[in-house]
Amino acid sequence: MGASGRRKLKLNFSKIYSFACGKTTFKRDHAQIGGYGYSRVVLCNEPDSSEEGFRYYADNSVRSTKYTAATFLPKSLFEQFRRVANFFFLVAGILAFTKLAPYTAVSAILPLCLIIGGTMVKEGIEDWRRKKQDIEVNNRRIILHKGDGIFDYTEWKNLRVGDIVKVKKDEFFPADLLLLSSSYEDAVCYVETMNLDGETNLKLKQGLDVTSSLNEDFNFRDFKATVKCEDPNANLYSFVGSMEFEGQKYALSPQQLLLRDSKLRNTEYIFGAVIFTGHDTKVIQNSTDPPSKRSKIEKKMDKIIYFLFCVLFLIAFIGSILFGISTKDDLDNGLMKRWYLRPDDSTIFFDPKRAAAAAIFHFLTALMLYNFIIPISLYFSIEIVKVLQSIFINQDIHMYYEETNKPAYARTSNLNEELGQVDTILSDKTGTLTCNSMEFIKCSIAGVAYGRGATEVEQAIDRSNRSPIIHEHANSFESESESDAIRESPDRKESIKGFNFIDERIMKGNWVNEPNTDVIRKFFRLLAVCHTAIPEVDEDTGNVSYEAESPDEAAFVIAAREIGFKFYNRTQTSLSMYEFDPVSGDEVERTYKLLNVLEFNSSRKRMSVIVKDEEGRILLLCKGADSVMFERLALNGREFEEKTLEHVREYADAGLRTLILAYRELDEEEYKEFDNMFSEVKNSVTIDRETLIEEVSDKIERNLILLGATAVEDKLQNGVPDCIDKLAKARIKIWVLTGDKMETAINIGYSCRLLRQGMKHITIHLEIPEIRALEKVGDKMAIIKASRESVLRQISEGAILLSESRGTSQQAFALIIDGKSLAYALEDNMKNMFLELATRCASVICCRSSPKQKALVTRLVKSGTGKTTLAIGDGANDVGMLQEAHVGVGISGVEGMQAVMSSDIAIAQFRYLERLLLVHGHWCYRRMSSMICYFFYKNITFGFTLFLYEVYASFSGQPAYNDWFLSFYSVFFSSLPVIALGVLDQDVSARYCLKFPILYQEGVQNILFSWRRILSWMLNGFISAIIIFFFCTKAMGIQAFDEEGRTAGKDMLAATMYTCVVWVVNLQMALAIRYFTLIQHVFIWGSIAFWHLFLLAYGALPPSISTNAYKVFIETLAPSPSFWIVTFFVAISTLIPYFSCSTIQMWFFPMYHEMVQWTRYEEKTNGPELNTVIQ
């Protein structure tokens, strides 16, 4: 397409210094080019260069898979046999090929192969899904320069370092590109980096002036350039390099680098040269694996496995000693005690002369024989159950947020049961408890408060006090009914996002009748000009919308627009707005020449713009936090300071976020001096560049004249107060970590019910006269010492207060601490005292806390209490906290997806945390605990019958059961019901989980997976095995088994015992289940039926295959009434101990869920009274 066919976009952003545009100088960093770490050389637009061929740079294909076709088998097998249990069964399987084995090798290896194979198939399916994602990404299409100025489409994977590509609007960058030119004349473009840092605001990038004219396809016919730059690294915000073009060398900075997976926005196209490809790109360099997290139940399960190994080795050792003693005594003066073993003609296994060696060999045999105590299918079954549990969480319609079409998403299934054990929740505030959708609701201008709307905090206080809200504004004499009339006025405009301001003194141009009209005009002009928002004008309706860096900034520009100061156009050097003219009553256009933008950051806490108005005056317009703004006011600029401070405190009490607005007029000489210094540090590329910029900016942002303050409300998300109230009733401790001022945080705490009326506050802060006096002197060491002592004293006083009130009252306490104090409280010599104080409080609020402090607090709570912690947040500043906690929950809100990508579980709204924990968490904890306990029960029941048989068989190593009976027990006859238990069982319904949140304490206190409960299930297994063995042997030992008078042989006894085991463990499952579904009925009764069918089918096979099971069922067991009577009697008798203990416990020592079950079944609907009883 030729130049004549394309509309030229004329924007020259080179003078907007906040965008780091302009020529860059060589200083410090660039002196390192060519040295270690800065050795990359890129020949642009020379794909066939021989020199380039010697440089082995990565290709542009990416691979996120864990395996390849060649490595899948060895790596997957290695992963499986890293587990101790699997490795043990592998060794046992290998030993099964020796003469030591009590069963055939095939019967030992096949179950292990089924379990390992099933797990490997699962791993392979998951990895194949990742492979398909890689294929989709690698095959995305991009326009590539093929040569002679011709561009054509190719796949991303085909790109090489040095290629020239053309990226169009709303496309992703396929690699890290050097920006050469764009559809704008000054080679600028807008970039969205949400996939990198989670930020949704647009960032402005600009290429070098020397390449800005290369904005047509044919311009690249003869383009050649050499780039020398840093080697691949993970730093997203740095780039050091140089470009040689047409004999000149130009410095490169991060401003020219477009990162892979960023998206081109609001720009028709760009041309770029490929610098880093594939795994060399910065985004891939940053893609580290998240920290490995394992649930407490899983860690404890490993200990149980080791315990069972000890039991296994113990009984094998005891059996081997007894076997050795018996073997040694087999020949006594030529008499053979165990004549059937032929000790006089035996090999080493039964040789009385080598009894010690026989005992050692028997020990190995016993390990193989008794290894059925260890559940071979436990790990595989748990993985299946956890995946299915995650699917249920993902499919829960009650956690689906229709507005954004986002369901809950369990990004890992490893921590499902951990959701039922959370003791402490650490939450971000903005965007997590609140919507992060700011509304301009109040303001203070020239010492007069405007805005009559009531905030959520005020309404919450009003409800709790049951008294009307008193609005202390300028017209304080106005009655409440009049205020309500204003709020509910039918003349009020329909809802405008970001604007909830109600005051007839300002609206509809009435501000011109106020006493300080000129100050009001300057106030709203500042809001309309001091920002980096980008206007978007709807050509059909003429409406203006804004794309801003933050919700606050958007709210300010919208507020100015609604009052009559409509910003509608931004060019490279100017801002244009329509302003209401009080003289003519019409809108007039005003244009401000944009000279500089001094950006906002967390350390500056303010933002300024320097503009020149139509009258030639140079104005510095500044807005920022009160903590940095009041100290910058001129002596003649403090006229409204006292009133403004008073209003700011009122706004903080109402839970509002405030900013101070001020300005100053600059003379030409002062501005020129500043501009020269600012341009020099802004265009340099040095390590301390940002510090130098702040120092220069600080000098000009002085002697300001106060205009007033803004107050915006970040509304609570729907359902947050009820959710926090319900979590508090579940006795979950809630900590809020926020960057807000203490007053704002406290009042937000009341509105969301984190703080309640009557709750005693323990406040730790450093806003005390002693510290202020030292700050004025400026002695840093004295300030640090005094601050540390003050924090220590306040913590000690709080601990004393708690101790004094412990025995006298039931009053709840809340701890509130600011960021400065928190820094000292987290020091090694103080953090344990702080943690002890905080854990004794019902609620904790940490104000003015940084992202690093959030992570450190989370680590302190996790390591110090030993209890399960859950962190929840929505922004990139919450990532450290989410990864540090046992469970990280990301809110998929408006701050991008960085928190979600670093989380274990993602939800769309904070209120869904209630159902996630109290319902799914409780269910998953109970299911997993019961499932694991039952696994150990059923395997001990089965394995101990083998041991008892060995005792009566003189420890001869003879198994009680057929080889395939042994192999298929854990795989086919007892596993499916336990999987159904782990997925479907419910002790109480979701409605009752939410109605009685105290149920959640069963998981926090670990009642269902305590050592007492685990050992009681194991004891139940031993008792069941003893009853089955002795009842079967005594019932079948001496009397006739059938009508022909024949007694039962070993094979009949074994089949009967095995039948009783299958019946008992499945009926035990039926007793343990609290919520029957069709699937559970099918699995329980189906497992029993499948055993009988298997016995029938297996017995029908030739004797060479079925061996001692040949027709044992069809010819001997099934026709005999004794078999069915014994099976029925043994099954009932074995279940009596469990049933009796469960009944006694429910009647006399009921647990929480059993109390609720009584309520449900007896239809006692007096819920509140029961809840009190339970608590």
Give the catalytic positions in this structure.
Answer: 428
Chain CA centroid to CA 324, Å: 57
CB 144 within 8 A of CB 163: yes
**Any bridge partners for residue 263, and if so which?**
172, 192
Rounded to whole angstroms, the Cα distance separating 114 from 121 reads 10
The conformational region for residue 756 under phi > 0 = left, psi -120 to 50 = alpha, else beta, is beta
Q: How far apart, in whole angstroms, are the C-alpha atoms of residue 911 and residue 719?
A: 5
**Is-contact 226 243, C-beta < 8 A?**
yes
Cβ(561)–Cβ(544) under 8 Å?
yes
Measured CA to CA, the distance from residue 263 to residue 171 in angstroms comes to 6
Instruction: Retrieve residue 865's tokens.
Output: 């209490």
Q: Which of 347, 434, 410, 1073 is nearest to 749 (CA)?
A: 434
Q: How many Å apart are CA 1015 and CA 1029, to the nearest integer?
A: 21
Distance CA(485)–CA(479), nearest Å, equals 10
The whole-angstrom separation of Cα 1124 and Cα 833 is 67
Cβ atoms of 825 and 837 within 8 Å: the answer is no
CB 253 within 8 A of CB 685: yes
Region for residue 342 given its phi and psi (left: phi exceeds 0; alpha: psi -120 to 50; beta: otherwise) = left
Beta strand pairing call for 813-817 and 760-764 = parallel
Return the axis-axis angle of helices 1050-1072 and 922-952, rounded to nearest 10°. 160
Could you give the CA distance from residue 193 to residue 263 in angstroms, rounded to a whole number? 7
Three-class SS state of 874? coil
Residue 906 and residue 517: Cα distance in Å, rounded? 49
Neighbours of 1141 (CB within 10 A): 12
Radius of gyration (Cα) for the chain, nearest Å? Answer: 38
CA distance 591 to 596: 15
- For helices 1078-1099 and 1050-1072, the axis angle rounded to 10 degrees is 170
Give the side-chain half-sphere CA count within 13 A for 1073. 24
Number of Cβ within 10 Å of residue 1137's Cβ equals: 14
Closest CA to 1092 of 1110, 1113, 1123: 1113
Estimate to the nearest angstrom the gap between the alpha carbon of 1165 and the chain centroid: 38
**Cβ atoms within 10 A of the Cβ of 1167, count?**
13
Instruction: Sort 780 into a burial class: Cβ within 10 Å, 0-12 / 13-18 / 19+.
Output: exposed
Cβ neighbour number for residue 673 with a 10 Å cutoff: 12
Q: Distances from the Cα of 1067 to the Cαs of 978, 1034, 1078, 1117, 1136, in angstroms?
A: 12, 23, 16, 21, 11
Phi and psi, residue 437, nearest 5°: -125, 95
| CA dist 30 → 25, 181, 880 (Å) | 9, 23, 32
| 868: β partners | 422
Q: How far is Cα 17 from Cα 597, in angstroms, rounded to an integer? A: 6
Report which of 1049, 1029, 1048 is spatially closest to residue 1122, judged by C-alpha positions. 1048
